[in-house]
Amino acid sequence: MTTPSETIGWALSQDLVPYPAAVEAMEARVQAIADGRAQELVWLLEHPPLYTAGTSAEPQDLVSPDRFPVFKTGRGGRFTYHGPGQRVAYVMLDLKRHGRDVQGFVRALEGWLIDTLAALGVDGERREGRVGIWVTRSDGREEKIAALGIRLRRWVSFHGVSLNVAPDLGHFDGIVPCGIAEHGVTSLATLGRETEMAVVDRHLREAFERRFGATETVAAPLELSKAI
């Protein structure tokens, strides 16, 4: 049996990826990683507009159930929006290689997003009792700029993080994002920062490597996808 590379695969899908196809590809990859047949992978993509319901989703948080397709998902958390202009990074890592510490892993993913935002001139912050990464506006308002939700299977992670680069923020109105009604959402575009996805991706990769190790460019799952 071929030994998977010690480096972490880094893949990019250029086209919008349907959510069910992405989940199916992740499930297959996680199985292969757990079996020692495949390299760990970070998969960058964008989805068409949709809502996902995590394992803690509450029905009342779906404000507009007919607006976009809604998918139940095995990740933690509540309702989340995905769509064009939002960078999704699905993270498939073998935690047996990364400390077997789930809480520490979540903190590292948060740190990865905070480091990326810092490189883009944005102060991202954690908030006790709130999932995701937050920014404080000049008027004191707190708004969410990045979301996080993972699942583990045989110590291999899947699902991952999403960063609002330049999505249509009005699309978030159809849900109560992550069950938090008293705070809004924001994006790099709204904050007047970098919106070129390739630049954001470069900073994501650099910040990821500092925390998790070397990456190498590989082909993305699915025939409709391309490598970087």
> What average pLDDT is seen over the chain?
91
In a domain, 202, yes or no: yes
Here the CATH number for the domain that contains residue 140 is 3.30.930.10
Contact 89, 147 (CB under 8 A): no
In a domain, 1, yes or no: no
In a domain, 157, yes or no: yes
- What is the average per-residue pLDDT within 22-37? 96
Q: Over 70: is that where the pLDDT of 181 sits?
A: no
In a domain, 3, yes or no: no
In a domain, 225, yes or no: no
**Catalytic residue list contains 136:** no
In a domain, 2, yes or no: no
Which region, left, alpha or beta, applies to residue 213 given φ > 0 means left and ψ of -120 to 50 means alpha? left
In a domain, 28, yes or no: yes
Question: What are residue 184's phi and psi, to 5 degrees?
Answer: -95, -170
- pTM comes to 0.92
Q: For residue 38, what pLDDT is reported? A: 96
Structural domain boundaries enclosing 91 = 8-217
In a domain, 177, yes or no: yes
For the chain, what is the domain count?
Answer: 1
The active-site residue out of 175, 178, 185, 204 is 178
3 falls in which pLDDT band (50, 70, 90)? low
* Amino acid (one-letter) located at 161: V
56 falls in which pLDDT band (50, 70, 90)? confident
- What is the average per-residue pLDDT within 179-194? 86
